[in-house]
Amino acid sequence: NAGVTQTPKFRVLKTGQSMTLLCAQDMNHEYMYWYRQDPGMGLRLIHYSVGEGTTAKGEVPDGYNVSRLKKQNFLLGLESAAPSQTSVYFCASSYSLAGDEQYFGPGTRLTVT
């Protein structure tokens, strides 16, 4: 099993450009999450999904959109990138919503200039 994979690993964008980050999991998990990790701060939840076709906002959702068209995939979109969105983005998945560990992907390092 590959677990959780993320594409791409690195990306540089100019302010105002758009992009989509792809997350895939092969563990048949219902729940998937997008986090961002910034220096000196803990991981913060952007959006999450409780199943195919359903998404919800996390702690820091502004400037991001998500879609879960297939159970194994969770996409994170930036419509108009800003320098404040420079960060490392992690996708995670879990079997259940409460009490189960989340399995994380390797991350995408995004720089917005």
Q: Of these, 19, 22, 43, 60, which contacts other proteins (CB under 8 A)?
A: 43
Q: Does 60 bind other proteins (CB under 8 A)?
A: no
Q: Does 12 bind other proteins (CB under 8 A)?
A: no
Q: Identify the residue whose tokens are 């998500």.
A: 66
SS3 state at 34 = strand
Which amino acid is residue 111, in one-letter code?
Answer: T
Determine how many CB atoms are found less than 10 A away from the CB of residue 39: 6
Q: Does 1 bind other proteins (CB under 8 A)?
A: no
Q: Does 62 bind other proteins (CB under 8 A)?
A: no
Q: Cis peptide before 106, with omega less than 30 degrees from 0?
A: no
Q: Does 79 bind other proteins (CB under 8 A)?
A: no
Between residues 17 and 104, which has the closer beta carbon with respect to other proteins? 104
CB 50 within 8 A of CB 30: yes
Binding residues for other proteins, rule: CB under 8 A, are 4, 40-45, 48, 56, 58-59, 90, 92, 97-107
